[in-house]
Amino acid sequence: MDNGIIKWIADEEVLQDFVAGLPVLIILLIIVISVALLSKGADWMIDGVVDLAQRTGLPKIVIGATVVSLGTTLPEAFVSVMAAFLGNPGLALGNGVGSIIADTGLIFGLTCLLVAVPVNRFILNRTGWVQVGSAALLVGIAVIALMTAGAGEEPILSRWVGLFFLILLVAYLYVTYRWATQSGDLGHDEELSNEEPMNLPKAWSMIIGGLTLIVVGARVLVPSASEIAVRAGVPEDVIAATLVAFGTSLPELMTAIAAIRKGHPEITVGNIVGADVLNVLFVIGAAAVAAPLAIPDNFYFFHFPAMLIILISFRVFISRADTAFRRWQGAWLLAVYGVYVTLQYTLNVGGAL
Amino acid sequence: MRILLATDGSDTAGAAVQFVAGFPFPSGTEMKIVSVIPRVLRDHEIETLTPEQRTVFEESKSGNHSEVEELLESEAALLGQAGWSVTTEVRVGHPAAEIVGAAEAYDATLIVVGSHGLTGFKRFLLGGVSNQVFQSSKRSVLIVRKPESECEGSRPELPARDGHLWRILVGYDGSGPSEKAISFCTSLDLDDKVSFRVLTVLPMVRLFRQDIRQELNWIWQQQKETEKEALEAAADRLREITGGVTTALTEAGDVSQAILAAGEDFKADLIVLGHKGKGAIEKFLMGSVTPRIAQHSCRSVLAIR
């Protein structure tokens, strides 16, 4: 591979110096463009991979449980891996945790407030527990890391923890596939699907083009977000947990809006629950494998508790819901998200000490 | 049923007259043809004219008036020959506003307007009275299409008046307006000269291929079964009065495109859809299928309100 390309990807200073010389508005514009690239890239890549998977004769249920499920989390994963790789662990971890909070608090909260979201009890009683369980596992491992860290050392999520999460990810994908086979009538009429496969070069172009957009988007977003944090006088974690997390959750938000428009908000529930699990196992797992993630103090007293409050609220709502989620439940999730964001900007609560 | 037909002497308006003449409206249907002379000068502008200018203006106005009356007479005769009871009216003012006003005054069940099947930039530039009437009226609107060359290749022939087998595609989604669309169809003078296809399009979230997860979700599968049953029940209402009824259930990311494609596939003379006016937020959230089809179709479209 050309040295220039490696330098461009690996050398943080190249883009950081470039971004540092730009006015704030231009950097914000770059952030918007990179977020759009991430989103479009994920869309293309999923389209291409799904097409290839269908050519191999894989059943839709397998494709749904793997490719499609991972797809909307690709932007978060690439941004966090890129951030960890470039030495911004706060951004990597902040993006993962912030995305869980944005997905559940903002996107699901908003959906719930706007329309009646039906409860798919079979799936929610299973993946709903994995959702809280994986977040609790992350917090538990982080607490152990804190307790075992030497004096003056920062607790760390090691590469082994990252690898452990990725192994759990494979197990989770398999289990969701098994649950999906048990939950629905799989003999539904595929004959009604008038889907034409795209030609092979097109499928590959979409995969390669999508991947390129995601890599470029993530590569440009990371230094731009860091620079905005410096200019705004807020810590990198705050930008990661709010602005970047919102940006990388755009696929989930777009999907949620499309699902409301088409009258099928039940898709959003599955999507959000799945995304939360993947944000821990896939996003934080892959980022920790790329580089060990130091855990700043503020995660213990602010980001982790905020994440657990939102996820436990959601878990309680699932167990209390009969046929559909209530509007006030959406309002509560949205309010927690609002407080979480506001505290970070007004009192600088979320910033690293 | 009371039908208000707007005409301006153009080819498209002529096509609308021809369409209405042969369409199997229920017997006893009354029709009014209205033509609007656009107001060239406002009252205060007329006052500023010199006496000579005013004479020329008045002569031209009266000439226009008699030309329009002649046009209305000939079109009324055409409809009369087809067996319809027809009255006429000439109005002066803004065409779309006057057509909507005339429909209110006549208490019309249906407004009929002719339209070119304009596409893309041409429609953006020219807009059109038919579109304005569709947007501003609270009544059902039938837009009769005489397509431009943009629709070539899928250009539908205008139905001949006698012995034509009408092919009508009805979009059905179980909503109140689409139930009204079915009721409208059952009110027609049906025999073996009409062939119906009742179509339900299930909207899929194609973004990030969430449609695959959607299909696997049992809530969606249950809804699909319910939609199937509702579709068959709607078709059965039509089957009670005519034999030629088929149904189709399809899944699509873009409902409007799917209905337009089904219209082409069925070679429909007319696409009938229920339409409920929506507020801006609702439009953003829920989208607007009927106005999109009314704008983009190369075939005639009837929006039932």
Q: Which domains does chain B have, with CATH numbers?
A: 1-160 (3.40.50.620), 165-305 (3.40.50.620)
Q: Among B205, B247, B278, pick the best mutation site for testing chain A contact (most A Cβ within 10 A).
A: B205
Examine the pLDDT at B104 and tell me if it is beyond 90.
Answer: yes
Examine the pLDDT at B225 and tell me if it is beyond 90.
Answer: yes
Say if A180 is an interface residue toward chain B (CB within 8 Å): yes
What is the C-alpha separation between B201 and B199, in angstroms, rounded? 6
Chain A residues lying within 8 Å of B251, measured CB to CB: 192-194
User: Which phi and psi (to 5°) does residue A194 adopt?
Assistant: -100, 35
Q: If residue A131 lies in a helix (H) or strand (E), which one and from where to where?
A: helix A121-148
Examine the pLDDT at B64 and tell me if it is beyond 90.
Answer: no
Say if A347 is an interface residue toward chain B (CB within 8 Å): no
CATH number, domain containing residue A50:
1.20.1420.30
Tell me if A211 sits within 8 A of A44, measured CB to CB: no
Q: Among A44, A262, A271, pick the best mutation site for testing chain B contact (most B Cβ within 10 A).
A: A262
Q: Please state at what angle helix B11-22 crosses helix B51-81, rounded to 10 degrees.
A: 30
What is the C-alpha separation between A280 and A296, in angstroms, rounded? 17
> How many CB contacts within 8 angstroms connect chain A with chain B?
97
Choose the weakest-confidence range: A159-163, A328-332, B53-57, B90-94. B53-57
Say if B208 is an interface residue toward chain A (CB within 8 Å): yes
Interface touch A60/B208, C-beta < 8 Å = no
Please report the sign of the dihedral spanned by the C-alpha atoms of residue B165, residue B169, residue B174, residue B176. Answer: negative
Examine the pLDDT at A348 and tell me if it is beyond 90.
Answer: no
Please, which residues bridge with residue B88 across strands?
B33
> Of A274, A352, A338, A273, which is closest to residue A306 (Cα–Cα)?
A338
Number of domains in chain A: 1
What is the C-alpha separation between A349 and B165, in angstroms, rounded? 73
The confidence band for B88, taking pLDDT boundaries of 50, 70 and 90, is very high
Please tell me whether residue B50 adopts helix, strand or coil conformation: coil
Examine the pLDDT at A221 and tell me if it is beyond 80.
Answer: yes
Say if A353 is an interface residue toward chain B (CB within 8 Å): no
Please report the ipTM that was assigned to this predicted complex: 0.79
Residue with tokens 């899929």: B204
Chain B residues lying within 8 Å of A185, measured CB to CB: 218, 221
pTM (2 decimals)? 0.82
For residue A58, what pLDDT is reported? 79
- Please state whether B118 falls in left (phi above 0), alpha (psi between -120 and 50) or beta: beta
Interface touch A42/B250, C-beta < 8 Å = no
* pLDDT tens per residue, range B40-52: 777 777 778 788 8
How many Cβ atoms from other residues are within 10 Å of residue B211's Cβ? 27
Chain A residues lying within 8 Å of B210, measured CB to CB: 68, 72, 255, 258-259, 267, 271
For residue B282, what pLDDT is reported? 54
Please tell me whether residue B64 adopts helix, strand or coil conformation: helix
Provide the 8-state DSSP code for B38: P
Q: If residue A157 lies in a helix (H) or strand (E), which one and from where to where?
A: strand A156-157
Examine the pLDDT at B119 and tell me if it is beyond 80.
Answer: no
**Token code pair at residue B281:** 């937020």
In chain B, beta strands by DSSP E: 2-6, 30-37, 85-92, 110-116, 140-146, 166-171, 194-203, 245-252, 270-274, 300-304
Distance to chain B for A205, nearest Cα, Å: 16
Choose the weakest-confidence range: A211-215, B61-65, B246-250, B272-276. B61-65
> Of A98, A58, A61, which is closest to residue A76 (Cα–Cα)?
A98
Provide the 8-state DSSP code for A254: H
The confidence band for A136, taking pLDDT boundaries of 50, 70 and 90, is very high
What is the C-alpha separation between B43 and A274, in angstroms, rounded? 68
Say if A323 is an interface residue toward chain B (CB within 8 Å): no
Tell me if B179 sits within 8 A of B149, measured CB to CB: no
> Of A279, A183, A195, A201, which is closest to residue A240 (Cα–Cα)?
A279
For residue A230, what pLDDT is reported? 84
**Token code pair at residue B204:** 């899929």
Please tell me whether residue A235 adopts helix, strand or coil conformation: coil
For residue B213, what pLDDT is reported? 83
Q: What percent of chain B has pLDDT over 90?
A: 36
Q: Among B178, B199, B206, B207, pick the best mutation site for testing chain A contact (most A Cβ within 10 A).
A: B207
Please tell me whether residue B91 adopts helix, strand or coil conformation: strand
What is the C-alpha separation between A108 and B149, in angstroms, rounded? 47
For residue A192, what pLDDT is reported? 41
Angle at A137 between CA A176 and CA A255, to 5 degrees: 45
**Token code pair at residue A181:** 């086979």
User: In this structure, is residue A61 part of a structural domain?
Assistant: yes
Residues contacting B27, CB < 8 A, separation 6+: B189
User: In this structure, is residue A325 part of a structural domain?
Assistant: yes
Q: What letter represents residue A69's amino acid?
A: S
For residue A10, what pLDDT is reported? 58
What is the C-alpha separation between B173 and B219, in angstroms, rounded? 17
Interface touch B286/A261, C-beta < 8 Å = yes
- Structural domain span for residue A102: 9-184+200-346
Interface touch A118/B208, C-beta < 8 Å = no
For residue A243, what pLDDT is reported? 87
Q: What percent of chain A has pLDDT over 70?
A: 91
Distance to chain A for B261, nearest Cα, Å: 12
Distance to chain B for A113, nearest Cα, Å: 13
The confidence band for A26, taking pLDDT boundaries of 50, 70 and 90, is very high
Residues contacting A30, CB < 8 A, separation 6+: A19, A22, A220, A224
Residue with tokens 């910033």: A351
What is the C-alpha separation between B305 and B293, in angstroms, rounded? 15
- Please state whether B230 falls in left (phi above 0), alpha (psi between -120 and 50) or beta: alpha
User: In this structure, is residue A89 part of a structural domain?
Assistant: yes
Say if A178 is an interface residue toward chain B (CB within 8 Å): no
Interface touch A267/B213, C-beta < 8 Å = yes
Chain B residues lying within 8 Å of A64, measured CB to CB: 212-213, 215-216
Q: If residue A294 lies in a helix (H) or strand (E), which one and from where to where?
A: strand A293-294
Residues contacting B1, CB < 8 A, separation 6+: B25, B26, B28, B29, B30, B109, B110, B187
User: In this structure, is residue A4 part of a structural domain?
Assistant: no
- Please give the mean pLDDT across all residues of chain A: 86
Interface touch A61/B219, C-beta < 8 Å = no
User: In this structure, is residue A192 part of a structural domain?
Assistant: no
Interval A138-150 mean pLDDT: 93
What is the C-alpha separation between B239 and B197, in angstroms, rounded? 11
**Token code pair at residue B203:** 């909207």
